[in-house]
């Protein structure tokens, strides 16, 4: 069982075939990096529902049937973690995420603070974190003492600088991103309150 300031492994059985079907169904919402070009051949893409879109449903400003029932069930079940977006990341083999936080840098600061990730591809691709928080970054630096974790489903502290080295594997991740005012620690408490 992994639990520290960077990652909290989760004992929850996600319905992976159902999630992979949603991944296929949401193909039309795909945005590829670099986002301003949205190149469908790009090595890194995302698809899913934004936190704003889901919040409009939860607050009654958009119909609940705008998303599949099980998505609303997941949102409700995991609501103790905070406000969330729901979606997927896809990366091609040999793609390397640079070291980053999901907060979007010091200027933006409104990105996700944490993320519940579920690996949907067959083989796990480990996540790496810098040894120190590097609060003066970006830019962030990799180092020989960086942490590496392999997981199936885990809450990730995406406010801690992290990166992925895909190797020769394709990677599909289901992702429930946690937004302020919640953070990794609050989301972890939420999971524990649910018995996970
Ligand atoms: Fe990230």
| Helical axes 51-58 vs 69-77, angle rounded to 10° | 90
Q: Cα of 13 to ligand 1 centre, how many Å?
A: 23
Is residue 96 very low, low, confident or very high in pLDDT (cuts 50, 70, 90)? confident
Q: Cα of 115 to ligand 1 centre, how many Å?
A: 8
Is residue 169 very low, low, confident or very high in pLDDT (cuts 50, 70, 90)? confident
Q: What is the mean pLDDT of the chain?
A: 92
Percent of the chain topping pLDDT 90: 77
- pLDDT at position 108: 59
Domains of the chain: 7-193 (2.60.120.10)
* Residue 188 to residue 196: CA distance in whole angstroms: 9
Q: Cα of 162 to ligand 1 centre, how many Å?
A: 6
- pLDDT at position 123: 80
Q: Which residue is listed with tokens 């945005």?
A: 31
Q: Cα of 154 to ligand 1 centre, how many Å?
A: 13
Q: Cα of 98 to ligand 1 centre, how many Å?
A: 9
Q: Cα of 150 to ligand 1 centre, how many Å?
A: 15
Q: Cα of 60 to ligand 1 centre, how many Å?
A: 30
Q: Cα of 25 to ligand 1 centre, how many Å?
A: 24
Percent of the chain topping pLDDT 70: 97
pTM attached to this predicted model: 0.94
Q: Cα of 164 to ligand 1 centre, how many Å?
A: 8
Angle at 194 between CA 192 and CA 196, to 5 degrees: 55
Angle at 94 between CA 156 and CA 132, to 5 degrees: 35
- pLDDT at position 109: 65
In tens, the pLDDT along 31-75 reads 987 777 888 788 899 999 999 999 999 999 999 999 999 999 999
Q: Cα of 158 to ligand 1 centre, how many Å?
A: 6
Q: Cα of 91 to ligand 1 centre, how many Å?
A: 12
Is residue 98 very low, low, confident or very high in pLDDT (cuts 50, 70, 90)? confident
Q: Cα of 63 to ligand 1 centre, how many Å?
A: 30
Q: Cα of 17 to ligand 1 centre, how many Å?
A: 24
From the list 117, 92, 90, the residue with the least C-alpha distance to 169 is: 92
Longest dimension (CA), the chain: 50
Q: Cα of 177 to ligand 1 centre, how many Å?
A: 10
């Amino acid at each position: 069982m992994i639990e520290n300031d960077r990652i909290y492994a989760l004992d929850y059985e996600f319905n992976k075939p159902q999630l992979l079907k949603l991944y296929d169904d949401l193909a039309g919402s795909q945005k590829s990096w670099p986002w301003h070009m949205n190149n469908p051949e790009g090595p890194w893409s995302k698809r899913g529902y934004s936190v704003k879109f889901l919040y409009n449903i939860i607050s009654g400003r958009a119909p609940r049937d705008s998303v599949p029932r099980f998505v609303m069930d997941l949102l409700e079940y995991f609501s103790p973690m905070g406000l969330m977006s729901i979606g997927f990341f896809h990366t091609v083999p040999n793609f390397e995420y640079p070291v980053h936080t999901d907060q979007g840098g010091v200027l933006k600061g409104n990105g996700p603070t944490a993320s519940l990730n579920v690996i949907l591809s067959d083989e796990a691709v480990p996540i790496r974190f810098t040894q120190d928080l590097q609060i003066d970054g970006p830019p962030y630096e990799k180092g020989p003492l960086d942490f590496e974790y392999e997981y199936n489903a885990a809450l990730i502290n995406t406010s801690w600088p992290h990166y992925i080295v895909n190797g020769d594997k394709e990677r599909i991740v289901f992702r429930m991103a946690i937004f302020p005012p919640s953070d990794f620690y609050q989301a972890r408490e939420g999971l524990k309150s649910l018995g996970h």
